[in-house]
């Protein structure tokens, strides 16, 4: 079994040049009562960024999800958004906001190790 060589500064710089990523926004999370939870944030951005997001995602709303196993918050890809909209049109899923509201209680149980009621 061979190990990957450590990534050096040259590889990091080349990766940044060929696939740049940019810090985009900061979200501060605060504790809330269940009825006070926020499910949607509104952010004002420059026209170039707004137009880019609409071109990539086909709309001006982007859904993020929490991956508790990897400890990451990620953005739904354009294909995930399209798939959700298709399933929603078939009547199999509710609006994203309602889905998020329902998912929050399940997420809280998963990350706290509480079993769902039988």
Q: Rounded distance, CA 94 to CA 39, Å?
A: 15
Percentage, residues of the chain above pLDDT 90: 15
Q: How many domains does the chain have?
A: 1
pLDDT at 5 over 70: no
Residue 80 lies inside a defined structural domain of this protein: yes
Would residue 24 count as lying in a domain? no
Residues 6+ apart with CB under 8 A from 70: none
Residue 25 resides in a domain: no
Which residue segment(s) compose the domain that 68 sits in? 30-112
pLDDT for position 118: 67
Domain-embedded: residue 83: yes
Let me know: does 76 contact 64? Beta carbons within 8 Å: yes
Q: Per the domain annotation, does 7 fall within a domain?
A: no
* pLDDT at 57 > cutoff 60: yes
Cα 35 to Cα 101: distance, rounded to the nearest angstrom: 10
pLDDT, average across residues 4-11: 70
| 73 within some domain | yes
- Would you say residue 1 has pLDDT above 60? no
Kindly state whether residue 10 falls inside one of the protein's structural domains.
Answer: no
Handedness of CA 103, 105, 111, 114 (dihedral sign): negative
Q: Which of 14-23, 43-52, 80-89 has the highest mean pLDDT?
A: 43-52
């Amino acid at each position: 079994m061979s190990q990957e060589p450590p990534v050096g500064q040259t590889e990091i710089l080349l990766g940044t040049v060929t696939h740049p990523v940019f810090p985009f926004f900061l979200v501060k999370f605060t504790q809330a009562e269940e009825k006070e939870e926020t499910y949607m944030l509104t952010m004002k951005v420059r026209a170039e960024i707004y137009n880019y997001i609409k071109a990539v995602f086909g709309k001006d709303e982007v859904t993020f999800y929490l991956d508790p196993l990897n400890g990451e918050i990620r953005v739904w890809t354009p294909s995930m958004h399209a798939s959700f909209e298709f399933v929603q049109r078939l009547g199999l899923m509710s609006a994203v906001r309602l889905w998020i509201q329902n998912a929050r209680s399940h997420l809280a149980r998963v990350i706290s190790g509480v079993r769902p009621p039988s």
